[in-house]
Structure 1
Amino acid sequence: MNKTYKYNRYLYKAVLILIGMDVIYRCRDNNIKALICFVLFLVIVINDYLRQKYFYKTVKEYYSSIALGMIINLILSLHIEGYIDIYFYLILYELILYGEGKISRLFISLEVISLLALISFRMISGYDNIGYYDILGIIMVSTGICFYLVSLFGYKALRKEKREVERLNKELELSYEKLKEQSKKIEELTISKERNRVAEEIHDNLGHNLIALNMNLDVAEKIIDRDMDKAKELINKSYILAKRSMEDLRKAVYALKEKVTKTFIDSLKEIVANIEYTGKVKIILDVEESIEEILPEYKDIIYTSIKEIITNSVKHGKCDEINISIKLSIEEINIIVADNGVGCDEFVKGNGLLGIEKRIMDYKGKINYDNSISKGFKIELVLPNL
């Protein structure tokens, strides 16, 4: 827009220079007339400069300047013919593109009437009788002026629409930024509330478990010499309480993390790296990237289950290779962990596998085992894809 305005100003100045030269040329035979006409035209030029530089700031000064230019232009056009008529179109151009409101439309109407009256006067003033071609000429000129006006108004409407679109786009960008900021605040508030909730859970659940654990151990210490079986039962119960407390604490810490810097796949790769670091077991991980889109609860179940299964494979299976596969379909999530260990002829589920089963069943999933001798050990977990 600035570049277009700049070129328009250059063209405007060039047109004024050419009009001034034409005014002098047409009055060359009469020095006094030439001087008067040139001074009047110079007033037009100075008036235009002041209007476009200073007078545009107030409506009264602006339209007073327009009126002065229109009057001087009409006077010059009545006394000399030529390119001075172009100034009519320059005034119309300025009024249509930059003027607004009723007063602008009034001045446009006055300028059009003045131009048509001037052209009609010139065409009929030299003739006693008005002929067909005179009337046709007036009609053609009027049509041309109308076309010029319609084109300018159309261009103005397009430019106005463009400015409106740009304004709406800016408003949309501002609204989007505000929405992002509000969304961030809501997210922070949600995280803060979740932290408070988890903190309450830690206080209630973990505190209760630790008190119960302390009581059990205290009682076990007092009766261990008198009732060994009862003491063992209390110690076993204390072990379960401690393990449950560790699990609750792990979940709480996971929930309290301010920012998750690692993806779920990265967390799985970290487990793999920790095992492979010993150099005794190779783990092949095959995970689809879409796993990142599943429910957080599912991620927690899969992560815990894989860690437990790998631990069992390394500890009891005597394997040197473990294959982990996680596949997603529209209906289900399929997790398979298989090792090449010795397998087992009698399969006994420990607390770890029982815990995995319970978590899987809680989400209406299923778990399958393959413990064939000399074929290693394979566990398949299936969760519904919600």
Structure 2
Amino acid sequence: MERWMIGSKIILLLYIIALAYFSPAEPARVLVLLILIYVALNLILYIVNKRRIKQGLLVIVVVYAAVCAVYAHPEFALLLPIGIYEWASFYRQKRAALLLALLPLAFMQLHPLLVQYAFVTVFIFFNYSMISMGISRIIIQEERMEQLRADAQRLAKQLDENQDYLRTSEYMAQLTERNRLSQEIHDGIGHAMTGALIQMEAAKRLLPPGAEQAGALLQNAIGISKEGIEQIRLTLKNTKPLIEQLGYSRLKAMVESFSAKSGIRTSVVHEGNMEIISPLHWKIIHDNVTESLTNAAKYAEATAIHVEVRVLNRFIKAVVADDGQGSRKVVKGLGLLGMEERTAAVNGTVTADGSAGFTVTTLIPYAGSEESHPSQQSAHE
């Protein structure tokens, strides 16, 4: 818009100069000075960046052009419409600008510039309206493009999070399947071969004297069976995932699934000897973290949630902290009471803090520290 204004003013100035210098009457020398003053005012106008100063300078430019038109050269009246439209562009009042620009026609009456002024006013208004509409459309398109870029970034982020969740879920499924197959082999083939080995050893003892060849064959079968059973045991030991591996993987998969569904950023960390955490403790931690995540999504208005599991000297510590609005007074609802009940079943405690976001901490004593109380742990933390 600014370039169009500058171009229009230059064209009008050239037209005024042409009218003055190609008219029958000899142009006054002061015309050059008046045009230079007008150009200087416009240069200052486009140098200044502050809105109010620009508006004030535009008023000065319009008044200057009107004074020059009345007392010096009537041709300066042709500069009034462009100045009025430029001033009106700050207020987006196109119709009012047209009426204000046409107002001088009432004072020109049968002046020779009457038709030229009306033509310039209407023509510039038409161009001004078209350019304003074009700029508005460009602004709308830019806003849409910005929204599309933001949506694309959000979708790309969700895609990355979903891919991470899929990888975690696939890994979790592999661990679960390994655990299931190991247990089935142990309970099925392992027990069957162990029973067969016991029966072969019993049969060896029942062989009559002199059946050395049959005894040797039976002993050979017993040896092969023992080696097979030992091989199965070692294979199952190496294949069956560790309890802590299953527990932490399930917890991480659950948190990432929550992040993918809710759109809230999450992070999961662990520290310490995870082997200490029993399946029962993992279940309590998993249930408490699930409840905390659900509460954060419902009430906290959080954008990020951090989950950590740490094995301390005597306690297992699980923390869920969000960056939401928090609460000075923690009201215990069914969710928090349920966490306290299931944690108290293993002599643990649950504390909630809403001073900075909302933080739920679960403390569970592990084997060898059941008689300890969480308050004793504060000296070690």
Query: What is the TM-score normalised by the length of structure 2?
Result: 0.42
Indicate the structure (1 or 2) with the bigger Cα radius of gyration.
1
Higher RCO, Cα 8 Å, sep 6+: 2
In the superposition, the TM-score normalised over structure 1's length comes to 0.41
